[in-house]
């Protein structure tokens, strides 16, 4: 059986895309995962998706070939970045709550992120990752990335061939980044609202009793109010977290539509 010349070229482009995706995707981007495992996963996904993907057109010039390779790297990094946005939104909500509670001064090493994070932010991040695995987000993520090849076929020039498409991708990427901040604020709003009410109560108590050092009492009160509100808020937190995970698939299709 003769293999078309475009088949190995399509496989190469998808291999580069999926390998770049593995560098930024949830769970796969961790430093404790060997690079060979990420490369092997990229090759396996490319092997499975290439027969179902539109075949790429062989470029005539060498410059177009290297431009297509660079474009696939960018596409893979963008796919992983978009999938990580809901998880980052949950982590950012934890950071906002920790800052409102006055716990942002304490930081801990994060195994899921290259930088340090407050303990509460790390708790929210690991909670989001565990929930991501519990709802089968890893399988949905791989299926969605494979389905994106129909919206963005390998080798399609979406930077040089169609400047309007490139502008649309950048604009939608900015919108998704803004949506991450909005989602984080919505998740953290109940706890931050309770802490704000406690601050207002302390101000009123300080005006009624001037000799009382309200500032000294504010930090333990914020921590107590924040933790109690967080415990009461957790049963209502799961549906909001599930909506964040469901948004990842929609955001992938929104980026390259």
Per-residue pLDDT of 96-125, as tens digits, reads: 888 877 776 656 555 555 556 667 777 777
The SS3 assignment for 158 reads coil
CA distances from 36 to 20, 23, 41, 69, 247 (A): 13, 11, 8, 20, 30
Task: Dig out the tokens for 195 from the structure.
Answer: 């802490």
Task: Pick 169 or 53 by higher pLDDT.
Answer: 53
pLDDT digits (tens, 9 = 90+) for 30-51: 777 788 888 888 888 888 888 8
Residue 94: is its pLDDT beyond 70? yes
Mean of pLDDT values over 11-28:
84
Determine the pLDDT at residue 214. 64
Q: Taking the model in full, what pTM does it have?
A: 0.74
Determine the pLDDT at residue 257. 62
Confidence band, pLDDT 50/70/90 cuts, at residue 81 = confident
- Residue 178: CA atoms inside 13 Å, Cβ hemisphere, count? 6
Contact (CB, 8 A) for 73 and 16: yes
CA distances from 221 to 120, 125, 193, 225 (A): 17, 25, 14, 6
Return mean pLDDT, the chain: 75
Confidence band, pLDDT 50/70/90 cuts, at residue 1 = very low
């Amino acid at each position: 059986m003769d293999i078309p010349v475009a088949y190995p070229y399509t496989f190469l482009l998808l291999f580069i895309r999926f390998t770049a995706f593995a560098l930024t995707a949830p769970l796969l981007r961790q430093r404790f995962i060997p690079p060979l495992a990420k490369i092997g996963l990229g090759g396996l996904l490319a092997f499975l998706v290439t027969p179902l993907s539109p075949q790429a057109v062989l470029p005539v010039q060498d410059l177009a070939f290297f431009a297509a390779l660079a474009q696939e790297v960018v596409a893979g990094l963008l796919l992983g970045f978009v999938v990580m946005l809901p998880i980052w939104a949950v982590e950012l909500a934890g950071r906002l709550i920790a800052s409102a509670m006055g716990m942002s001064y304490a930081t801990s090493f994060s195994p899921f992120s290259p930088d340090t994070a407050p303990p509460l932010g790390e708790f929210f991040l690991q909670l989001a990752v565990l929930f991501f695995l519990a709802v089968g987000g890893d399988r949905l993520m791989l299926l969605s990335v494979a389905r994106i090849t129909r919206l963005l076929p390998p080798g399609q020039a979406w930077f040089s061939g169609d400047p309007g498409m490139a502008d649309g991708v950048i604009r939608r990427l900015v919108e998704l980044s803004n949506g991450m901040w909005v989602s984080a604020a919505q998740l953290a709003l109940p706890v931050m609202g309770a802490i704000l009410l406690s601050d207002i109560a302390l101000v009123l108590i300080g005006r009624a009793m001037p000799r009382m050092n309200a500032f000294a009492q504010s930090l333990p009160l914020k921590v107590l109010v924040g933790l109690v509100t967080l415990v009461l808020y957790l049963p209502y937190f799961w549906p909001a977290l599930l909506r964040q995970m469901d948004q990842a698939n929609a955001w992938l299709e929104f980026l390259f539509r």
